[in-house]
Chain A
Amino acid sequence: MDFSYSEEQQMLKESVGKFVQQQYDFDTRNRIAAGGTGYSEENWKLFAELGWLTVPFSEADGGFGDSAVDLMVMMEEFGKAMLVEPYLASVVLSGRLLAALGSERQKAELLPMLMAGNLQLACAWAESGSRYNLANVRLSARSEGGRIILDGTKVNVLNGPSAGKLLVTARESGGAAEREGISVFLVEREANGVHVRNYANLDGGRAAKITFSEVEIPESARLGAPGGAFEALEQVVDHATVAICAQAVGALDSLLQKTVEYSKTRKQFGAHIGSFQALQHRMADMFMECQLARSITVMAAMQLDSSDSAHSKAAAASAAKSRVGKAIRKVGQEAVQIHGGIGMTDELDLAHLFRQVTGLELLFGDADFHTSRFARLQAAV
């Protein structure tokens, strides 16, 4: 049993930490987020140079090793700094889905470009009526004379506005929420019939609602076997779920730290508000939530890296997201409350941390969703 970081993980942590401290202060971050693409091309090139874009890929695919614990180390630092670059959407989610489903030829064509920072990807999995059910895919894919025709709409396509290529889940056969019959297709964002409506999300990142109107693509655009993508999709999303738990853990620590610091300087009734027991106990509770969220994220990341069954890994991911989701609600709301009026303002980084974690709370399923999923998985043991 060992809970310390390896030398490589320590270096990764320091590398990200140094970048964030020296080149990613709150004002810089806000400037980047408000810019045209919502992220910095320059930073993305730097991430590639530093090797960060290779972290969640196996050595066989030319990556750093695809360890969930390595990824956790990075995501935690990203969370503290509220990084807006589309690392999760493009690399962790889309890149790993491509690595899981793509043929050797498809991977050889795209993964090196992705890891070199020359390609942005987005994954279009959610639909207006799907909520958090990954199997609820209605966007249709029908074969016509050796071509595939896509028709339907996706929502919350993270990094949709900037992605050169989209990974789109589509139904080739079966009923609306069946696990069988779902495929993933690679679609050029500029293809005919693809309509992208851009918007910013709560967390400062960019997303899109994308409509596919009779979009024609070749058979070769399919990743993996026809109708057989669900299992890989679920595992990739579980992995990304634990990654955002780590991102949240970093952000929650920042929220707690900023709240404690503020309570030591803000005076009311002639005393620092941190000297009031009513607030002290609430901050003690925030501390506990941060610790529990960290513990269960560590547990899940280690389980993803183990040789356990996919079933156990899914249960671990859901346990983590459920518990972290509760911690987010508690720590985020208390941080704003203890700051009082100033905590409401857009000027303060606190509000942006709160917005970030609120986004993470819902992404890939909220606490209730994951508790129910965990319960179903437990009952099926």
Chain B
Amino acid sequence: MNADFAPEELAFREEVREFLQNEFPAELREKVDAGIRLSKDEIVRWQKILHEKGWAAPNWPVEYGGTGWTATQKHIFAMEMGLIGAPEPVPFGIKMVAPVLMAYGSEEQKQRFLPDILQSNVWWCQGYSEPNSGSDLASLKTSAVRDGDDYIVNGSKTWNTYGQYADWIFCLVRTDTTVKKQEGISFLLIDMKSPGVSHQPIYLMDGHAEVNEIFFDDVRVPAANLIGEENKGWTYAKVLLTHERTNIALVPRSTRRLRALRRAAASLDDGFGGSLLDDPVFSHRLANLEIELKALEYTELRTLASLSVGKSPGPESSILKIVGTELAQRIDELFVELAAYHSLPYLPEQLEEGFQGAPLEPGIPSGQGLVYLNNRKLSIFGGSNEIQRNIISKAVLGL
């Protein structure tokens, strides 16, 4: 039993570090450090840099242009990316629809879609949740009715992250209303430029619209865009959900945030002549979060190690989602408290892409109040943490 990286893994980490130092654009790094959102162009630019290096798709097999990395290499890569603040590839293409295409798509579908995903030529979004289907996803109602060589799609999808940028959407649609709800669902790819598709931004409480509602009004979709068999979509969707469990624990992000928090606490006044780190209550709370991160990180490493000896990720990984997101939220809370009055200004534009003005309070982490608001989503999306607890109690504890 040891937690050391092998020499070749250490060499790989060096290579990743050097690449990120040299190739992650400085202007993007500045924005990330200041908490300003990256534009679509900036995100795509970074993904194309990764693609040139051959690192755009860490989770793909080599035959499709992936890296063929081991679980440990993927972990190292995610950690180094997170520590420097480089955004991960937008997940909807690389991490979500692509593995489904590889597993269940036809040869023609793979040829048609995978290269553009790898090269970041096409932006994908996810069409799962509906206004009345949240945690009970299988109750979804958006319908697809066969009409000759097409399906006619009607209904709406919601919480589509970056739907405003998307060229394509992968959707779960209802193709049979007469059977058990899970058995009448199909997995359909829809071109966002199809007549009858429209979207409306949803402004969240942080003043930003990263999510949308998407409407389908008699949208004609070629049946060639159906993945696998009709009415088998729920099986494919579940595979997608359990397939890519790496980095749901947000360990790299939380590591970076906690380091920043400790640095900021050491430099900020506590208002009584010392630094915030001298405040025993603050320092105690910070230490508790750092300890929790260690426990989480080693839980993730243990999961990873069991993966690399061939066991499947399994429902135990729900623990990574719950603990990871709740820790990230606690870090956000402590950041808000750290910035005190400076967390109060409601200036969403300061975090928007393209913001050029000076921050209100240079040297103090700004916008923490908005980050706090935004990240309440973490315990809700991707299967709410209550759903994850259901999974643990049923699949792990057998209740």
Distance in angstroms between the alpha carbons of A267 and B359 in the assembled complex:
61
Contact call A372/B280, Cβ cutoff below 8 A? yes
B291 interface hit (Cβ, 8 Å):
yes
A2-39 contact mask (Cβ, 8 Å, vs B): 1 or 0: 11111001000000000000000000000000000000
B193–chain A nearest beta-carbon distance, Å = 44
A48-89 contact mask (Cβ, 8 Å, vs B): 1 or 0: 000000000000000000000100000000000000000000
A192 interface hit (Cβ, 8 Å):
no
B5 interface hit (Cβ, 8 Å):
yes
Contact call B294/A1, Cβ cutoff below 8 A? no
Scan residues 230-261 of chain A and give those whose CB is less than 8 A from a CB of chain B: 260
A73-117 contact mask (Cβ, 8 Å, vs B): 1 or 0: 000000000000000000000000000000000000000000000
B268-299 contact mask (Cβ, 8 Å, vs A): 1 or 0: 00000000010010011011101110111111
B321–chain A nearest beta-carbon distance, Å = 11
Size of the A side of the interface (Cβ < 8 Å), in residues, is 43
Closest to A68 in B: B1
Distance in angstroms between the alpha carbons of A293 and B299 in the assembled complex:
9
Distance in angstroms between the alpha carbons of A260 and B393 in the assembled complex:
9
Main secondary structure of the interface of B (DSSP, over half): helix
B72 interface hit (Cβ, 8 Å):
yes
A278-305 contact mask (Cβ, 8 Å, vs B): 1 or 0: 0011011101100111111011011001
Residues of B within 8 A of A287 (CB): 319, 392, 396-397
Interface residues on B, range: 35 or more
Distance in angstroms between the alpha carbons of A181 and B22 in the assembled complex:
53
Distance in angstroms between the alpha carbons of A323 and B283 in the assembled complex:
16
Distance in angstroms between the alpha carbons of A319 and B302 in the assembled complex:
18
Contact call B3/A323, Cβ cutoff below 8 A? no
Contact call A302/B2, Cβ cutoff below 8 A? yes
Contact call B277/A379, Cβ cutoff below 8 A? yes
Contact call B286/A375, Cβ cutoff below 8 A? yes
Residue pairs across A and B with Cβ atoms less than 8 A apart, 27 shown, are A1-B5, A1-B9, A1-B304, A4-B309, A260-B399, A264-B398, A274-B399, A280-B394, A280-B397, A284-B388, A284-B390, A284-B392, A284-B396, A287-B319, A287-B396, A287-B397, A288-B323, A295-B301, A296-B294, A298-B298, A299-B3, A299-B298, A319-B290, A319-B295, A322-B288, A374-B287, A374-B290
Residues of B participating in the A interface, judged by any CB pair closer than 8 Å: 1-6, 9, 72, 262, 277, 280, 283-284, 286-288, 290-292, 294-299, 301-302, 304-306, 309, 316, 319, 322-323, 386, 388-390, 392-394, 396-399
Residues of A participating in the B interface, judged by any CB pair closer than 8 Å: 1-6, 9, 69, 260, 263-264, 274-275, 277, 280-281, 283-285, 287-288, 291-296, 298-299, 301-302, 305-306, 319, 322-323, 368, 371-372, 374-375, 378-379
User: 8 tightest A-B contacts by CB?
Assistant: A375-B287, A295-B298, A280-B393, A284-B392, A284-B389, A292-B295, A296-B295, A295-B299
